[in-house]
Amino acid sequence: MVEWAGRLLLAVRDVATLLPPPLLLDAWLRRPMKTTAPQEGIQAIEWTAEERGLAGLSDLEGVPWFLPMDQFFEAWVETILQRLTRRTGAILRTGRLRETVEPPERDPPGWGTQAALIPDHWLEWKWGSLIVDANYKRHWEEFE
C-alpha cells in the first residue's frame, strides 16, 4: 500500500493544486448525508481554502472548529458505500447504528473475552457480503 501511495504521489507531483470552486462546495454541502461529519469536513476544506477559522493562516477569524479525522474518514467511506448500494442493490448496515454487531465464533465455545465484533460497515448482496472497517491513521504514524 505504501509503495502504491508513493507511485500515486509521483504520478501527480506535476499537477497544479486546484481549489474546489465555491459552487462545487455548495453543491457538496446540499447533498443529503446521514451524518454531519462529511458536511463538517467540507466546511473545513472551505475554511482552509479561504483562510478562515483555525484552519487558515490569517488571523483567527470565524468560528473555531474541531473535527476528528477518523470520524470524517469513516463518514466519507460510508457515503461512498451508500452510493455503491444504490448502484448495485446491496443492503448497507453500519456499526455506528449497531447494525453490524456479531458475536465471534469460538473454538472452544465460550473461550475469550471479546463479546462482539462490530465492523464499521457491512454490505450484503444475494451472492455474498463485504465487510468494511474504515480506520484512519496518519500515514507516518506507523513509521514513528
**What is the 8-class DSSP label of residue 55?**
G
Asked whether 87 and 123 are in contact (CB, 8 A), the reply is no
Torsion of CA 68, 37, 62, 50, to 10 degrees: 100
Q: Does residue 89 lie in a domain region?
A: yes
Q: Does residue 14 lie in a domain region?
A: no
Prediction pTM value: 0.50
Same domain, 124 and 108: yes
Question: For residue 139, what pLDDT is reported?
Answer: 57
Q: Does residue 1 lie in a domain region?
A: no
Same domain, 53 and 78: no
The mean pLDDT value for 84-109 works out to: 85
Same domain, 100 and 129: yes
User: Is 86 in a helix, a strand, or coil?
Assistant: helix
User: Is 79 in a helix, a strand, or coil?
Assistant: helix
Average pLDDT taken over every residue of the chain = 77
Residue 125: pLDDT band (50, 70, 90) is very high
Domain that holds residue 94: 70-144
Same domain, 85 and 134: yes
Question: For residue 55, what pLDDT is reported?
Answer: 45
* Count: domains in the chain: 2
Same domain, 81 and 137: yes
